Amino acid sequence: METMSEHMNEQRIIMTTMDMGPTSLAKVMLDWEEAYRREQCLRAVIEKSVLHLGKTQNVGNVRASYYRGRKTYDYERVGKDAPEEVIQRHEIVRIDWKAVCEDAGVSIDEVPYSQSEPSVTVKLV
């Protein structure tokens, strides 16, 4: 959290940008780089912690949103085992493997799936 003196220092920097020389500009740019790298480290710590918790966190004006990842069912892999006449009823330019599986009575629990990795976004709200 930013202290009042840090905020005042930032305001002073902003107010003096018009008469800033190359040395002062270089200092500000290096300060920005340091702040940016620190922010990236803090973001990484927050993201890793929220991934571990598995739940969106809100503190002050900061929200770290947890996304559990998305499942992608592989209907084609299971649907290919359905009887040919079931496959042909759903055949179009492409085969609707989900419909094939449903028509063949395949349970969703029998359908293999892939799942993307969980992720976190951190932002000010």
Q: Which residues lie closer than 8 Å to 10 by C-beta, 6 or more apart?
A: none
- Local confidence band at 29 (pLDDT 50, 70, 90 cut-offs): confident
Task: Give residue-wise pLDDT tens across range 41-60.
Answer: 999 999 999 999 999 999 99
- Looking at the chain, the whole-number percentage of residues with pLDDT higher than 70 is 87
Task: Give residue-wise pLDDT tens across range 65-111.
Answer: 999 999 999 999 999 999 999 999 998 778 899 999 999 999 999 99
DSSP 6-71: HHHHHHHHHHTGGG--HHHHHHHHHHHHHHHHHHHHHHHHHHHHHHHHTS-EEETTEEEEEE---E
15, pLDDT greater than 70: no
The domain locations on the chain are 1-53, 69-125
> What does the block give as tokens for 109?
């629990």
Instruction: Measure the CA–CA gap between 116 and 111, rounded to whole angstroms.
Output: 16
